[in-house]
Each structure stands twice: as structure tokens, then as C-alpha cells.
Structure 1
Amino acid sequence: MITRRLYYKRSLINPAQLFIISFLVMILCGTFLLMLPESTHNGISFIDAFFMSTSSVCVTGLGVVDVSAYFTHFGQTVIMLLIQAGGLGILTFASYFAYFFKGGATYENQLALSDISSSGKIGEVFTTLRRILIITFLIEFIGACFIYINLDKTFIPGFGDRVYFAVFHAISSFCNAGFSTMPKGMMDGELIFNYPLQLTMVLIFVFGGLGFPIMINILRYVKYFIKRYVLWFVSGENNYRAWVMTLSSKINLITTLVLIVVGTSAFFIMEYSNSLAAHNGSGKIVTALFSATTPRSAGLNTIDFSSLHMSTIILIILLMWIGASPASTGGGIKTSTFAIATLNFISLAKGKSKIELFRREVADISVRRAFATMTLSFVAIGTGICFLSHFENDASLLEIAFECVSAYCTVGLTLGITPELSDPGKIVLIALMFTGRVTMLSILIAFFKKVRPMSYQYPTDEIMIN
């Protein structure tokens, strides 16, 4: 009798550790490239290069120097490539290309990729990654074309400069990075009143903030919809399939839509006679839409956020904290986390012991992860506020809190204190940007040894909460 044995090469590090190390390596490589003489006009210090590289790879958008004035065309291109690499995820790039250059992938790496890319089967992993790259470059290409079309030739006369502007801002928007090649970003000159351009960029960073699994699920649903409701006229076949659109996609899409509508309406009402006073008619609505959507990790702004009302700044902080959808280029605690927490509150208020939605029950592990993510975000942001308050005595608590939330949630919006930070203050924000990008939960998973599940259960006991 012949016995077959399956062997596979075990990795010395787990996927979470590989994910963290990949980002660290990319940040250090980016720091080295930004310190090259060809990258800047007058040189840059290590801490500033390290900060800009971290902000680029973590697709944050906070800057201690002016990208347009400080960096050469080569340096700006380095930042653009770092944004692209960080937006897609270093592990996605490395694993995808390693599969082709080495002729395959280990069983354990495929399992890791399956978890990251949300594929149900190991065989679908590399198909999913291929789709990720195709969707990313396709949206960025289409976005760049529309940005170019909506640019005023008198604002940027050169053809090559307009093309570069379009490509850079398409990548920055889709990856929710918040960097711009203009001295004042989207507040520069005629860009403030270029509403078609703003709408284009809103669509780009909303798509980037949806997440690759959701976009793939939407494409699958569109394909099913065409077969179900269009082609049945020809074939006459009943192509009905249940749950083409997953529960996760439904929750994230509904939450995203609600946040956009509520955020835009609240911003429009609170800032109608303040920051929106310079705009008229539909321009107020577009500016309110742009300003309410960008805090959810995009980081580009067409108004001065330091001039906002206090109530509006609190709203912006909340939107930054919630962020984009999971497995996307955006940051924050994610829309699914916020939705599950809200649904849990409602379920408890109704006296229910489980969360039910669309005739489905949300798994307990999802609820536990959601509240762990929220708690860890409070710990990280609170720690950052404490340290930054210690090093930056001249800044107000609101400015420090805004900056820390923006850094941890990889948004890139600022009330103006980032360029004035001391070196210790910059290190605090660097730590927050990195932690927010790789997530606190991934860091804990990387350092804690996974416990093997045991087939026993202790008696349960209820703890008094209130």
C-alpha cells in the first residue's frame, strides 16, 4: 500500500508579521529614495524623508514639507509610486509577482493570501489578485482621463504637465492618499471652483474606499443582473441565484451611502454661511459633498479646514474615525465596524441576543472584532494625543486631537500644525500613521502566539455592566 504524504514549506513568520515587515521595508526604501539629491531641490533631513515616505506608503497625505516646492519631478514620481504600492498593499504585489517569477507559491502563502483577498477558495486567490490589479489600473486610467478633460488649459498650459497632474491625482484619489502636486493642493487657484473636476475625484476616491471585495462583488452582481433581467428575453431561462450580493457588501454599501448623504447635508447646513459662502447654487452642494466625503480617508480639501465651525470639525473627526470600507485603500475603523456596533446597540435596546439583518445573523466573531477594533483605535489615538501634547505645548488640544485622528485613520487632513511639528512630534505621527495602516489588531496578531483551539468549554457567567 502506498501512502501519500503532503509536505509544505512552513514560513518562519506569520502573515501578519510579513504584512508589517513589507510595509517597513517599503517605507525605508522610500526614505532612501527621497533623500537622493535628484529627489529634492535643496536636500531633506532623514526625519522629514522618513515622515513623507511613511505618509505615502500608508496613503495618509500628511506632509511636513510642500510636495510641489520641496521635491523635484523625480521626487514627486517616487511619492506617486509609493502611494500606488501602499494603496494596493505590499503583500499583494510581492505575492502576486513571486507566483510568476518563482513558478508557484507555498500552500501556507496561498492560505495567507486567501485570508487577505477574501477569496473563498485557495484556487481563486491569484484570480482575485489579478482582478484587483486590473480594476485598480482601469479605474485610475479612466479617472486620469476625466481629470485631464476637466482641467483648464490656461491653469496648466503644458500638455505633459496636465497629463502628469491627471495621473498623479488619479492615483492619489483612488489610493485615498491626499497628496497633490499643487502648492495649495485642491485649494490652488481655479481648482476651488472647478466642480466637474471635484465630482470626478469624489467618484474616484469613493471607489477606492469601497474595497476590492465589494467592487468585485458589485461586478459579479451586475453580471448576474444582466443575465437575470436582460438576457432572459432571449434565452427564456430562469437564472435566479440567491445571495449574489453578500451581507458584508450590503452593510458596507448602505453605510457608505448613509455617511455620504448625512455628512454632506450636515456640512451644507453648518457651513452654508461660513466656508461655503464663496460658492453659489450647485457649487455649494458639490463643495459640501467633496468636503464631507474626503474625511473618510481621501485627505484632499478645497476649503481651509482651520476656518470651519467647531461643530463641523467634530463632524469631520467622526467621519475620519469611521473611515472607508474594509480591504480598501482607505483607513479608519471601517464602515462595517461602525455598522455592526450600531446594529448591536439597536439589538440590545430591543432585548435581542443576536444581530439579524436581511434574514441573516451576524457572526459573533465579527461583533468581537468590531469592538476590538474600536477599542484599540481609542487606545492608539489616546496614546498619540498624550505624547503629542507633551511635545507640542503651543498647539491646542483640538488641533492635536484632529492631527492624531487624521494620522491614525490615514486621512491626511490637517488644521495646519503638521509642518510646524518638532522631531519628536513627527515621530509620534509616524507611529500613528504606520499603526493605523497595518491596524492595531494585525500588530497584536503578529506578536501574540496563536493558541490551538481546544475541545472544551467552561461554564458561562454573566458580568454586571451597568
Structure 2
Amino acid sequence: MIRKRLFNPAQLFISSFLGLILFGTFLLKVPIALKEPISWVDALFTATSAVCVTGLVVVDTASHFTGWGHLFILLLIQAGGIGILSFAGLFTYFLKGGSSYENQLAIRDFSNTERLGEVFVLLKRTILITFGIELVGAAAIYWSLHGLTYIGVGEKIFVSLFHAVSSFCNAGFSTLPLGLMDGMVIHNYGFQFIIACIYIFGGLGFPIVINVLKYLKHVVNRLLKKWTLNENYYRPWIMTMNSKVNLITTGLITVIATIVLYLNEYGHVFSGHEGLGKLVIAFATATTPRTAGFNSIDFAQLHFSSILFVMLLMWIGASPNSTGGGIKTSTFAVAVLNVWSMARGKNRTDVFRREIASITIQRAFATMFLSLMVIGLAVFAISFIEPERPLLDIAFECFSAYSTVGLSLGVTGTLLTGSKIVLIMLMFIGRVTMLSVLIAFIKKVNYIQYRYAPEELTIY
């Protein structure tokens, strides 16, 4: 029996991404992948953006890469997306235990299993559901493109599959010259809405998707029992607290963001759309900052207040254990609930008749602090490298890179090599999380039985 691992799970998690990024960099330098030569830094940037499912680009994907290049990018996106979801299952299994940092990182509701065999069953379900959603999404996208008679069936199939994978993995890459702003699809509101639904589903997180499917199965069984056997088929706690918190937070943020941007940009950026189409574009614009990165509008044309609001949405990001980035909706929800409890004079934070563990609150605020610290250092670094560049452009790029969003105010391709390297590092850290980096390289301490006497510090 092996008693000591050569690498801890966090180190394996990080090294797997590094290996995939390096492999992708060489893959994108192969002559058959390129229409025009690109530098090694640009290849590294594109590979990192694809593997970390970000979507920031320094060269135009449509014009610089061939069909083979698009296929390579698609495979990198898929590998990055599935790798995140699949390794999360193993990550959770290996972190089950009693040591201190394991208790801090393990997400108990993710797998609901203690045996290795069941973890691999979970991984199989992850892959099957991922491919299933992507195939259904590709079929829906293909159907929405039925009016495009001037492109061939083969090209339409690849466009549909590419955008389905890119959407579910929250990558934001597009083979269309102007992304979702391209003339072929800008007013195709069915296409825009389907893309938004796919990346929202991908951003929910696999544990939540599994839980929602179990709940739907439970509802169907309950109705069948009631109609056929006249029995009250009831099982409590089908929907976990983790799912409830993240679904409600996601729903509230989506509704609020859609309303805010719709009202703020009604006669401005959205003026080129009418009626229901304007609402669809507002919905897409409100949801894509939460790590999808598709550009249905030119974000550089937004009002200053809307840009700041989009940066907040990028920072919050998607749900945990998903293909999305950011600090995660659960982190944001825990922070809000904790502040609300403190304002009411409570010494604990609870929701849905359950108390939130103190370690969860500590992890949430640690995640928020580390994210702002890393983003701040990146903003400083790029400002030092390019002091003439506007601060808003730099901050937007950094929030987008760390949150693996892929949105830009149009300056990514004009950045200097040093700034590109900063964003590469930022995308990677945002994808694997700074907390995982610290866990990977800081030696853990053995669990200690004693505690020091508590002492309060002046906070406010």
C-alpha cells in the first residue's frame, strides 16, 4: 500500500493544467493550424485562454487560424472544461479526511460518497452529461441557423458544435469574425438566447446540475405515485443547501443585472435592437460577464457606470465546481449572509434552517481577499509596464482575465509582451484559484489539539 504521495492533489491539479497549456502552445504553432504566423507568446496566450476557458484573444481566431487551428482550440477548450470537472471529483475524494487543510477545501456536497469506486462513477456521469448537454446545445444552435443558406452544411455543423462546447465550458471563443456581434447572428435572437442558456447551464456547476436532475426525477416520481397509487411520495432534502443558495443567488443576480443594463443602455448600446430582441440582448449582456465572455455588443461603448457594473459581475462569476471562474456565487452569498447576520447582532450565519460552518465563511473571505490582492497586483504590473494606458482598460482586462471571462474593451491585442505575460499568469491563477496555489506550495501543519486564548482586535 502506498502511504505517501509524491504530489498532493493541489499540485497534481495545477501541473495538469500547466502540461495541457504547454502542449496546446506547441499545437497552435503547427503550420497547418495557422493562416498567418503568430509569436510564441501569442500562441501561449491563446492556449492558456482556451485551456483556462477564458476567451481573451490577442489575435483574431477567425482570421489567424485554419480549420485545423479551430479544431485544436476546440479540443483544448473541451479538455480544459472536462479536466476541471473531472479532477474536481478526485480532488474532493483525496481531500476527504481529518487534516486541517483538507477540511478547509473539501466540499462535502460535491460527491456524497466516501468510496473511490463511486467517485469514478461520478466522473463518468460528469463526462456523459457534459457531452449530452453539448450535443443537445449544438443541435439547438444548428436549428437556429437554418436561415443561413449561404454556408455549407459541414461548416454549419462545425460552427454549431464549436459554439456549443465553447458555451458550456464558458470559454467565450467564437469562429465568427466578430463573435456574436457578427452580421450573421447579431439579430438572430434565437441563436443568442440558446448560447446564453448553454453557458448559464455550464456555469451552474456539475454538482448542482446532478442535484437538479435528482430533484426533477423526485418530482416526477412523486407525481406518478400520487396519480397512480394515490400515495404521498415524499423525500426531504432532495435539493441540497448548496444547490439552493447557488441557484437563488444566480437567479437574483441574473434578474437584477438584466434590469439594470436594460434600463441603463436602452437608448444607447441596445438602440440597434427592437422589442423582444432588445430584451434578449440585455439578458445575454447581463449573463455573459459571469465568465462566459461572448460579446453580443461592443463593451467599450457601454456607459461608464455599466462598465463598472460588468466588472462586479465578472468578479462574482459562476457557481462553484463549474466551468466558470470568479469568486463564485456561493462565496458572494456567504459574504452577504454573514454581513446581514452581523448587522442583526447574530453570532452565527444560518440559511434554510442550517448554520453555515465557520470554515466556509473563513474560506469565502479568504477567496475574496486573495482575488482582490492578485487583481490589484496585476493592475499595478500592467500600469508599470504601460503607464500611458487608461486605468479603466487595464482594470477591466485584469478582472476579465482573473475571472476567466474573456470580455475586453478592445485592448487585448494591443498590449505589450510584458502585459500579455501578466494576463497569462492571471488567467492561470484565476482558473486554478490562488487558494489552490497556496495549498500546493505551503507545507501543511499537523492538526493540533490545543487552542490559544481568544483575543479581539479593533475592526471598526
TM-score range normalised by the length of the shorter chain: over 0.9
Structure-1 separation of matches of 2:226 and 2:5: 50
Equivalences for residues 48-447 of structure 1 within 5 A: 48-89=42-83, 92=86, 118-123=110-115, 124-154=118-148, 156-447=150-441
86-95 or 152-161: which moved more? 86-95
Shift of 1:462: 1.5
Shift of 1:238: 3.9
* Count of residues in correspondence between the two structures: 451
Shift of 1:108: 5.2
Amino acid at match of 1:249: S
Are the counterparts in 2 of residues 156 and 162 from structure 1 also a CA contact under 8 Å?
no
Shift of 1:405: 0.2
Structure-1 separation of matches of 2:46 and 2:427: 11
Structure-2 separation of matches of 1:321 and 1:219: 28
Amino acid at match of 2:416: S
157-166 or 109-118: which moved more? 109-118
Structure-1 separation of matches of 2:51 and 2:298: 25
What's the secondary structure of 1:193's corresponding residue?
coil
Shift of 1:432: 0.4
Distance verdict in 2 for CA 1:45–1:272, change over 3 Å: same
Structure-1 separation of matches of 2:20 and 2:343: 46
Distance verdict in 2 for CA 1:91–1:226, change over 3 Å: closer
Amino acid at match of 1:63: V
Query: What do the CA deviations read for 1:121-146 (whole angstroms, capped 9, x no partner)?
Result: 23321111111111111110000001
Query: What do the CA deviations read for 1:195-251 (whole angstroms, capped 9, x no partner)?
Result: 011110111000000000000000111111122233232234443222111111000
Are the counterparts in 2 of residues 8 and 108 from structure 1 also a CA contact under 8 Å?
no
Aligned counterpart, 1:12: 6
Where do 5+ consecutive residues of structure 2 fail to align?
A: none
Distance verdict in 2 for CA 1:17–1:115, change over 3 Å: farther
Structure-2 separation of matches of 1:56 and 1:116: 29
Distance verdict in 2 for CA 1:323–1:41, change over 3 Å: same
Aligned counterpart, 1:29: 23
Structure-1 separation of matches of 2:228 and 2:258: 43
Percent identity reads 53
Shift of 1:43: 2.2
Aligned counterpart, 1:448: 442
120-129 or 29-38: which moved more? 120-129
Are the counterparts in 1 of residues 315 and 403 from structure 2 also a CA contact under 8 Å?
yes
Are the counterparts in 1 of residues 320 and 328 from structure 2 also a CA contact under 8 Å?
yes
Structure-1 separation of matches of 2:69 and 2:444: 42
Are the counterparts in 2 of residues 298 and 411 from structure 1 also a CA contact under 8 Å?
yes
Shift of 1:95: 9.0
Shift of 1:423: 0.6
Structure-2 separation of matches of 1:62 and 1:388: 16
Aligned counterpart, 1:100: none
Structure-2 separation of matches of 1:428 and 1:284: 36
Are the counterparts in 2 of residues 114 and 122 from structure 1 also a CA contact under 8 Å?
no
Structure-2 separation of matches of 1:213 and 1:293: 20
Where do 5+ consecutive residues of structure 1 fail to align?
A: 1-6, 97-106
Distance verdict in 2 for CA 1:109–1:130, change over 3 Å: farther
Structure-2 separation of matches of 1:338 and 1:30: 33
Structure-1 separation of matches of 2:281 and 2:35: 34
Are the counterparts in 2 of residues 40 and 75 from structure 1 also a CA contact under 8 Å?
yes
Structure-2 separation of matches of 1:285 and 1:225: 32
TM-score (norm 1): 0.93
Query: What do the CA deviations read for 1:49-82 (whole angstroms, capped 9, x no partner)?
Result: 0000000000000000001100111111010010
Shift of 1:186: 0.6
Amino acid at match of 2:192: Q
Distance verdict in 2 for CA 1:91–1:10, change over 3 Å: farther
What's the secondary structure of 1:354's corresponding residue?
coil
